[in-house]
Amino acid sequence: MSISDKQGSSNVQGWERALSIGSGIAMARGGLKRGGILGLARAAFGGMLVARGLSGHCRLKSIMEDARSMRPDVDRIADTVTRIEGEIAERVKPVAKKLSDGV
């Protein structure tokens, strides 16, 4: 499933959506009242929260969920690397011993 396929799915529900909309409106309003660069940044972030709440989708949350779901694969790969590392070390020991005895 591509990222564009996941963007259509809702990953923000219920209270989280309502809080995003409410806090986004408050933040955008406060930013517009403040003015200046920081006010503009605050208003833009508030607008992003409102969009998150209205759409029901948060791309950052999606990325974090994908990373969390990959954890078992990462653990499996780490175990494989550790096992192979041990096998290589066992194969190298006799060769290293021969080299050190010959010197």
The DSSP letter of residue 8 is T
Whole domain around residue 48: which residue ranges?
A: 11-58
Contact 15, 53 (CB under 8 A): no
Same domain, 18 and 54: yes
Same domain, 54 and 74: no
pLDDT over 50 at 102, yes or no: yes
Q: How far is CA 65 from CA 1, 21, 40, 49, 61, in A?
A: 14, 22, 30, 19, 6
Residue with tokens 């408050």: 26
pLDDT over 50 at 2, yes or no: no
Write down the pLDDT at residue 103: 60
Residues 39-80: pLDDT tens digits? 999 999 999 999 999 999 998 888 888 888 888 988 899 999
Name the least confident of 2-6, 7-11, 60-64, 76-80: 2-6
Residues 14-32: pLDDT tens digits? 999 999 999 999 999 999 9
Same domain, 36 and 74: no
Per the structure block, which two tokens stand in for 34?
């403040």
